[in-house]
Amino acid sequence: MLLSQQLRDKRYAKVAKRVHDAIRLYSGTELLANVVSRIHRQKERDVDEWRAQPPWLLLLLLKWIILYGSFGPIILRRVTDQEVDKLVNLMHGVDNASNQPKEHDNIRLFMRAIAYQQFLFQDPITLARIARQALLFRDLPSAHPLGTMFLAAKGVTLDDWIELSFMLASGFLSSPRATIRDSYFDGVRKRHSSEVTSAFLSSYSRTLPELRQYLQGVTLHKPQEFRERSPMLAFPLLRRADDLLCFSPQILLKSIEDHIYDTLRAADTERFMKHFGRRFEIYVRGGLQFLCEDFIDEKQLQSTFGSGKVTDFALIRDRSVLLIDAKGVDIGFQGMTTPSATTVVNRTRTSIIKALIQGEECGRRVLKQLGSRELFLLVVTYKQLYFGTGADFVSSIGAQRITQEGYDPTTAALRPENVYFVAIDEFDHLMSALHHDGVALTNFITQTRDLDSDPGSKSYVMKMHLVKRHPTAGFAPMYLQHEFDAMMKRISEAFDVDA
């Protein structure tokens, strides 16, 4: 097994080096400009274009251009579209040398790695995702630990950061442009000092030498490299002499969307999760309240059905019980792309597996008192983990492994096919669509389970079911839209610049 992995590593490194060597023949400046232009020209969900030059492939090529390109004064071979096309063709060869399905413990782990890399680019670009950051992190009580931690890490308050994030995203996403000038934030100097805006922008941008140094520290040329989400997520803007170049609008938006969470989690994971868990639970409660359905929370679960493990919420209906648990977790790059089922278990033991055990124990107590009903569990995570259903999760890691962890799928009252894992973005769209169409959440989950029982109608993630069955699924819920409108109003009052 070790030798086989060594051979795969050598195979990948050899194919990747062909691209690195080819990159060195050209002007790095011209190559970078050509590839960034291609990324910005791509149309959303253009299948033919994505097949020829997928955005994730172009971003890996861009990373290698920064690492190995020639940016000095010596004039090298000039760059044409035809020459870049040749590089793109070489990149497809790198794909063939990356980890393939047979090199994973099972096909679902391979599919998760693909989804993690690629589905990001299929999501619509919308500022509502930044409005979610405002609901989660804005207007915290004075001296709240999350606000204190963020100020210590960034030197900027959370409220200022969220407002500047919205301004930055608006600058690139409200019009098709790849750059903004340094003067872009001049219109808000009275509200945000130059020190604050500089600290903010420096968290998202690096000069070319700085970016190369960063990439050298995080790059490992092994087969899993091809499945990475671009490291440009850390610094989605290139700092140039008098402007900032956006590598990819999708990468910029995702970076902004996750920046607060990632910063706080990196600062002190245990302390962050202790305080964020409560904020996340409140957010999910707000979504359920928007749906206008009766539900009970964990305190009511314990007082009604006895002490023990409980979920955050439950919808009790005549024929079914839907438990809902909010898990504001992230399992990292390795957890998302690993070919090893054992690694998945280790990465999910305190989150996904814990939710299954909580749901099983809580559900048994509820059913013991209420009698026979269908038992369901909806696990809402902060980031998309691409596990789909409980049955998919069990098949990813193996029934024996998860039984050893304390959840036996063969005897559980909570059947694995009755469990769904959804990211917070999916949850928001679910609340919006069901509220608009007047569909009960328990009915939707039951129907989705029935569809997923047939391979012909099964979907990989919940959002795919939403899009197929509810045309309104693409709209943000009103609680996000209201926050979006409030942010736009604040910005219009403080921000008037022609950049």
Ranges in the chain annotated CATH 3.40.91 = 268-480
Please give the single-letter amino acid code of residue 442: T
Q: Is the Cβ–Cβ distance between 118 and 254 less than 8 Å?
A: no
Residue of 234, 245, 424 lying closest to 324 (CA atoms): 424
What pairing do the DSSP bridges indicate for beta strands 179-181 and 419-423?
Answer: unpaired
Question: Which parts of the chain register pLDDT below 70?
Answer: 1-3, 44-47, 75, 494-499
Q: Is the Cβ–Cβ distance between 429 and 126 less than 8 Å?
A: no
Q: Which pLDDT does position 3 carry in this prediction? A: 45
Residue of 108, 115, 56 lying closest to 385 (CA atoms): 115
CATH topology of domain 268-480: Restriction Endonuclease (3.40.91)
Max CA pair span of the chain:
79
* CA atoms within 13 A of residue 231's CA, in its CB half-sphere: 20
Among positive and negative, which fits the CA dihedral 3, 6, 12, 14?
negative
CA pair distance 295, 298, nearest whole angstrom: 10
Q: Which pLDDT does position 497 carry in this prediction? A: 44
Please give the single-letter amino acid code of residue 328: G
Q: Which pLDDT does position 137 carry in this prediction? A: 95
Q: Which pLDDT does position 48 carry in this prediction? A: 74
Cross-strand partners of 77:
26
Q: Which pLDDT does position 2 carry in this prediction? A: 43
Q: Which pLDDT does position 494 carry in this prediction? A: 67
- Here the tokens at position 288 are 């359920």
Write out pLDDT tens, residues 401-430: 999 999 999 999 999 999 999 999 999 999
Owner of token pair 């949850």: 427
Three-state DSSP at 124 gives: coil
The CA distances from residue 212 to 24, 26, 36, 235, 417, in Å, are 15, 17, 16, 11, 46
DSSP code for 338 = -
Quote the pTM value: 0.92
